Chain A
Amino acid sequence: MAYSDKVLDHYENPRNVGSFDKNDDTVGTGMVGAPACGDVMKLQIKVNDEGIIEDAKFKTYGCGSAIASSSLLTEWVRGKTLEEASQIKNTQIAEELALPPVKIHCSVLAEDAIKAAVSNYQERHGQAAEAEKKSA
């Protein structure tokens, strides 16, 4: 399989590899895929008081296209609101990385991962807000 230069670049120099403490209040974590399927993607976002994604990190077990998709995504979501981030479409990722048809699902996985991270953050904050209300 021939890889596009952009896939190779992200694969060679993956951006924002790493992890945040998933119990940190400002962090949202999305983990999608399964080892038995051959791909697991973990995407984490760090959100500031204004609801803007300040930072993002990823770890991916999967093919080069899956690694590149998640690496690219961490670059894209920085500076975006949660709303904007969850609107990123896999087709944009696939287009940017010039993924061939058999690799489209790798970008779908990335879209799922950011959605999962955003909703994880929202759930935890919804719950936190709820709890605050109750105690008030």
Chain B
Amino acid sequence: MSDLKLPIYLDYSSTTPVDERVAEKMAGCLTKDGLFGNPASRSHSFGWNAEKAVENARGQVAQLVGADPKEIIWTSGATEADNLAIKGAAHFYQRKGKHIITVKTEHKAVLDTTRQLEREGFEVTYLGVKENGLVDMQELEDAMRDDTIVVSVMHVNNEIGVIQDIEAIGNLCRERGIVFHVDAAQSTGKVAIDLSKLPVDLMSFSAHKTYGPKGIGALFVRRKPRVRIEAQMHGGGHERGMRSGTLAPHQIVGMGEAFAIAGAEMGPELERVRMLRDRLWAGLDGMEEVYLNGDQEQRVAHNLNVSFNFVEGESLIMALRDIAVSSGSACTSASLEPSYVLRALGRDDELAHSSIRFSIGRYTTVEEIDHTVEIVRAAVAKLRELSPLWEMYQDGIDLSTVEWAAH
């Protein structure tokens, strides 16, 4: 364990470091000797060269997801892509109807967008999920109405890593002529995506979850059959009028390179990451009262969302100082609420309070995983020693029968 560097980063679902190869390409687009030109400049080679780099990157992004480059619109990230897709489609098709369907476990970039549309007079149905985190297809079908214009369901969930069946959902939408948007911020490089076959109309991407830079993303807007969206950002008419603003070649080139690497290396990378994830789970699973959140099978390889019963999440994070992980939780009276995603799975509030998300990535090592197992086991044991709930559990008391002094 000689060259183990602390803290250990296990929060790749939150963001990833920029791959060195990507950083190098980006650096070539900034200074006077590089591709600093404005891609919209038509009158000189500085503009042309920058444009060439941008179009090359557009092709790289399109290739990873099986799209046509003309279907890729640059945005500042998945948040903006989600906004543009959902608001853009809702505004364009509002004469057809004002009903939108989405899911309770979506990212806030989707949920806050639909909340805004509700304030504008749209009606939104928020579907629950099954215990495994997946959408119930029958429930979705039942929620579809004649005036439903947009369905938005994420591909890979950022907290629990489950993969929704977007093909089946897309088929239901196609049959009814409903625009289907998918937030795929968490799936590039983690799950194969082929938009030449998938019945998806709009798809959001982000670079920084896939070893690219923060502040850049893209929206896929299908051309055949054509989907229309209303621009949310007005100005110089860039990106065929759908998203104005001078393009940022260094960001765009970074995203393109990152997606190209993801495409080229996905196979072996996923295998390695899955091996590490399984090793981590094997190390934790032996403990008592430890639960894996989200479907066991239909999930990405790098995510492990675990509830350690009778231990509170924030204090656990505190004990895990040497590893960087996420917990969506602190008691309900503090600023943080227990994760709304875990609550939507129907997990007890206690289990929602005691969850930790481990997400593994390109630079995670076996040594790091083994050390993590050690630290987590020790921390959970220590906090359980401190926990009155653990004591009651050990005494055979069913906590659900206890009358708690509410406060």
Taking beta carbons and an 8 Å cutoff, which residues of A are in contact with B?
A: 3, 11, 14, 17, 19, 31-42, 59-64, 66-67, 102-103, 105-106, 108-109, 112, 116
Contacts and interface: CB of A to CB of B under 8 A. Distances in A.
A37 B315 contact: no
A63 B405 contact: no
A35 B351 CA distance: 9
Interface in B324-342: 329-335, 338
B405 A61 contact: no
A19 B334 CA distance: 27
Given A39-B331, A63-B314, A63-B334, A34 B404 contact: yes
Contacts of B391: 19, 59
12 contacts: A11-B318, A34-B404, A34-B405, A37-B406, A38-B331, A38-B334, A59-B391, A60-B386, A61-B387, A62-B315, A64-B315, A105-B333
Given A11-B315, A59-B388, A33 B405 contact: yes
Contacts of B334: 38, 63, 102-103, 105-106
A35 B313 CA distance: 12
B11 interface: no
B331 A37 contact: yes
A37 B330 contact: no
A32 B407 contact: yes
Contacts of B331: 37-39, 62-63, 66
Given A3-B318, A62-B331, A64-B318, A35 B349 contact: yes
A63 B406 contact: no
Interface in B266-304: none
B385 A32 contact: no
Nearest to B311: A61
B386 A35 contact: no
Contact of A42 (B349, B350, B388): B388
A106 B386 CA distance: 16
B312 A39 contact: yes
B214 interface: no
Nearest to A14: B386
Contacts of A17: 385-386
Contact of A60 (B330, B332, B388, B404): B388
Given A40-B404, A103-B334, A61 B329 contact: no
A39 B330 CA distance: 9
A98 to B, nearest CB: 16
B198 to A, nearest CB: 40
B72 to A, nearest CB: 39
The 4 closest A-B pairs by CB, nearest first: A38-B331, A34-B404, A36-B349, A59-B388
Contacts of A103: 334
B333 A37 contact: yes
Contacts of B404: 33-36, 40
A59 B350 CA distance: 17
A41 B407 CA distance: 12
Given A3-B318, A62-B331, A63-B331, A116 B405 contact: yes
A115 to B, nearest CB: 11
A61 B310 contact: yes
B353 interface: yes
Contacts of B407: 32-34, 37, 108-109, 112
A19 B388 CA distance: 9
B366 interface: no
B148 to A, nearest CB: 35
B389 interface: yes
A38 to B, nearest CB: 3
In this complex, which of B333, B349, B350 has the most chain A Cβ atoms within 10 angstroms of its Cβ? B333
Nearest to A59: B388
A89 B12 CA distance: 43
